[in-house]
Amino acid sequence: MKKLFILTGIVLLLLSVSCNRPNEADAVKLDTNWKFKTGDDPAWASPGFDDASWGTIDPKTIWEEQGYKGYNGFAWYRFKTLVRSSLKDQNNMNDSLKIVLGKIDDCDQVFLNGELIGENGKTIYTKALPSDGFIRAQDKWNLERRYILASNDPRIYWDRENLVAVRCFDQGGAGGMFGKPFEIAMTGLRDHLNFDFASTAFIFSGDSLVTKNFSVINLTGTERLKGELIVEAVQCDNGIRIYSNRSIIDLPPHQKVEKSVTFRNKSAVPATLHVSFKEAMTRKTVSEDVEIPYILTPKSPAEPRINGAKIFGVRPWSPFQYKVAATGQPPLKYRATDLPEGLAINAENGLITGSLKKKGEYVVRLTVENQRGYAERDLKIVVGDVISLTPPMGWNSWNCWGLSVSDKKVRQSADAMKSSGLIDHGWSYINIDDGWEDTHDKNGSILPNYKFPNMPGLCGYVHSLGLKVGIYSSPGPRTCGGYEGSYGFEAKDAMTYAGWGIDYLKYDWCSYGNIAPDPTPEQMKKPYKEMKHALRKANRDIHYSLCQYGMGDVWTWGAEVDGNSWRTTGDIEDTWQSLSSIGFSQGKCSPSSAPGRWNDPDMLVVGLVGWGPALHHTRLTPSEQYTHLTLWSLLAAPLLVGCDLEQLDAFTLNLLTNDEVLAVNQDPLGRQAVQIRKTDDYEVWSRDLEDGSKAVGLFNKTERSLCVPVDMKDLHVDGKRSMRDLWAQTDLGKVRGHFEMRTRPHGARMVILSK
């Protein structure tokens, strides 16, 4: 028995060791003691300048959160440190020094001892005169800043005090340094060699064949890298090795080698791919673990099934568009009985259109039929003041295309929303984010730029597919991406949007920060009220999405300015740090959530994302993505995927098409989950549903597999309940008092407890 314990201990130790990130080389940490000043003066780059009167700042967090609310423009950070030459002795690959500065929103120039060494993430190798050209790059805020200098570069003062000065420029929204790490260190093997797992997705063939293509890249411009590459795949729950391969690779400078591995593993069984490279000369190893996606959502049956929202709000006289979302073997025939006068359903595609004149409630019976059978369900139509009675579900261009969005990409995304089948699970909005605007013409009408030659045509096309269209603007003169905003043109813009056929407006504070730099609560509401009135005059139901990153606890007043949803946070990124800190802090907004009034913790970062033309697969592990969808569904959050829909991989599609999970998000009661239990290791959240049952999410915040316990007293549940696993869509029998579920590292389980 003792042996078994020791053995289990060793296995657990190995498992936990394999989850840890590689040790960082010895480094000078730069995460405290920075000096800071807003403004701009070239003298601030100089080591001789006296910054004693400057304030201090934490570089890990944007300046807005440290007393510089709404500040846009130039600001400088300065840090002084001794750089010892002994750093060089701790590493065999000691030819270069790196200065790593987290991320910088929006743009930066970095000076070492008065000399420019880098701009917007790119090292400057030769002496260069600083110019202001760097501030034109507004799309670099999400890049890691890593400036690498040869160790004999005269800009480094070995064994003396060095001054790192960072000149930042922020156009709008969040500003300054943030993220991690902040350090000065010698480059190690990790800086010379990289694995690229993110360019392609895992490929599943049948139920058990998994293929992964990846590449090993030599990043150095001068050195050849030779060594052994070991690739192993191991099942997580039992440690069984399902694949192993060793090969020698020899990589000339700046070259990469493509690798492809294929092995058998049941698609629902969690496993990890371990890849390591042992460099022959230094005998140093770099390794990376990749969680292999596991597929949980069962296939939709061939028999018809009706999905999507069970309740739909519309204003009197507004154009009505509701698509009955349904799966099943095609062709499907759609019917709706008891449709109120003014509405009609298209039997071929399930699109209900028309308009309703009078306020009131109607219950319509929907039927979907195919050769295999039929499904029936009620749809409640509420004609009143409030729209978006369930959180919007759709796509937004920002997290993949950034400012490079175009008419073509939007049409292709709409086509893919349909052809991928997402539309059959209730996904319906196609939202154009920043980057479509040109200028207001002499009549004050907003003109789209050359990438959008025909807005009404584009909207008509998206509608013809049974989808809806969204657009983006700012109450300020400029959007966050530097494009034309709506300031002074609110009424005209709202009419233009309605004329084009727009169904959703994301209204992003951005440069309004220059108009109201330190806004009072009233000043915060003012521009949103203005657009509210403009939209209400437009006679079209336009979902009004406020985006001002949660300022002034927007969830306490978003409904007052008629917002249908409001961003509660800054921009999300595809990292666990970002996802977990945003997701698990949403409890404070729970009481404000109601049908038509949704807290918005930002978009889904799954699939191929990238904020610009170059895309990568999300850096979230599959388990983290299950957490993302589970938590966002419990939070009744708008679900807007931000990935390239044309390149949806099997895992992402499976993740986005679990109708039982989505039904929690779309539950007509519209009550947001509350945090039931929080420890350092796990959290439990629970949401009341319309039928009296409870949806419960169990979240593992650690990097090891964990049994998450739930005390049903915390849920105010007495007696026995039936429990159903929503991801697997299987019944788990009855529970009483207490239950616990094994949960993957950073992963989630989601159940419904019903009587």
Among the options 139, 424, 571, 667, which is catalytic? 571
**Residue-wise DSSP of 693-718:** -EEEEEEE-SSS-EEEEEETTTTT--
Choice between 328 and 550, CB closer to ligand GLA:
550
Find the part of the chain contacting ligand GLA (CB under 6 A) among 278-286, 301-309, 453-461, 473-481.
Answer: 473-481
Say whether 414 sits in a helix, a strand or coil. helix
> Which positions from 570 through 599 interact with ligand GLA, judged by CB under 6 A?
571
Query: Which residue number, 480 or 663, has a Cβ lying nearer to ligand GLA?
Result: 480
Judge whether 350 and 343 are in contact, CB under 8 Å: no
Could you tell me the end-to-end alpha-carbon distance of the chain, in angstroms, rounded to an integer? 42
Is residue 470 close enough to count as binding ligand GLA by CB under 6 A?
Answer: no
**Matching residue, tokens 């400088």:** 76
Amino acid at 702: T
Among 297, 479, 580, 623, binds ligand GLA (CB under 6 A): 479
Residue 64 touching ligand GLA (CB under 6 A) = no
Q: Is residue 137 at the binding interface for ligand GLA, with CB under 6 A as the rule?
A: no
Near ligand GLA in 344-403, by CB under 6 A: 398
Joined tokens for residue 528? 């949103």
589 alpha carbon, distance to own chain's centre? 19
Q: What separation in angstroms does the CA of 316 have from each of 342, 364, 532, 618?
A: 11, 17, 17, 42
619 vs 115: CA distance, rounded Å: 34
Is 571 known to be catalytic? yes
**Segment (H or E) for 191:** helix 189-192
547 binds ligand GLA (CB under 6 A): yes
For residue 600, state whether it binds ligand GLA (rule: CB under 6 A). Answer: no
Give the x-and-dash track for 555-574 against ligand GLA (CB under 6 A). ----------------x---
Question: Residue 481 interacts with ligand GLA (CB under 6 A)?
Answer: yes
Q: Which of left, alpha, beta for 114 (phi over 0: left; psi -120 to 50: alpha)? A: left
Quote the least distance from Cβ 393 to ligand GLA, whole Å.
17
Closest approach of Cβ 50 to ligand GLA, in Å? 36
How distant, in Å, are the alpha carbons of 90, 91, 170, 348 from that of 86?
7, 10, 37, 74
What's the CA gap between 419 and 425, in Å, rounded? Answer: 12
Q: How far apart are CA 396 and CA 566, in angstroms?
A: 15
Find the part of the chain contacting ligand GLA (CB under 6 A) among 55-63, 475-483, 592-600, 620-628. Answer: 475-483
Nearer to ligand GLA, 466 or 570 (CB): 570
Which is closer to ligand GLA, CB of 321 or CB of 568?
568
Q: Which is nearer to ligand GLA, 394 or 481 (CB)?
A: 481
CB 265 within 8 A of CB 273: no
Could you tell me the smallest distance in angstroms from the CB atom of residue 173 to ligand GLA?
Answer: 5
Binding flags for ligand GLA, 494-513, as an x/- string (CB under 6 A): --------------x-----
**Residue number, 508 or 683, with CB nearest to ligand GLA:** 508
Among 59, 173, 485, 550, binds ligand GLA (CB under 6 A): 173
508 part of the active site: yes
Beta strands in 265-390, from DSSP E residues, in sequence order: 271-279, 285-292, 305-307, 311-314, 320-323, 325-327, 333-337, 343-345, 351-354, 360-370, 373-383
Number of helices (H) and strands (E), helices first, in the chain? 12, 48
Q: Which of 432, 480, 676, 717 binds ligand GLA (CB under 6 A)?
A: 480
Question: Per rule CB under 6 A, is residue 528 in the interface with ligand GLA?
Answer: no
Sign (positive/negative) of CA torsion 664, 668, 672, 675? negative
By the rule CB under 6 A, 183 interacts with ligand GLA: no
Q: How far is the CB of 481 from ligand GLA (least distance, A)?
A: 4
In the bound state with ligand GLA, the residue whose beta carbon lies nearer, of 437 and 660, is 437
The count of chain residues that interact with ligand GLA, using the rule CB under 6 A, is 11
Single-letter code of the amino acid located at 332: L
- What phi and psi, each to the nearest 5 degrees, are found at residue 562? 70, 20
Q: Which residues bind ligand GLA (CB under 6 A)?
A: 173, 398, 433-434, 472, 479-481, 508, 547, 571
Catalytic residue set: 508, 571
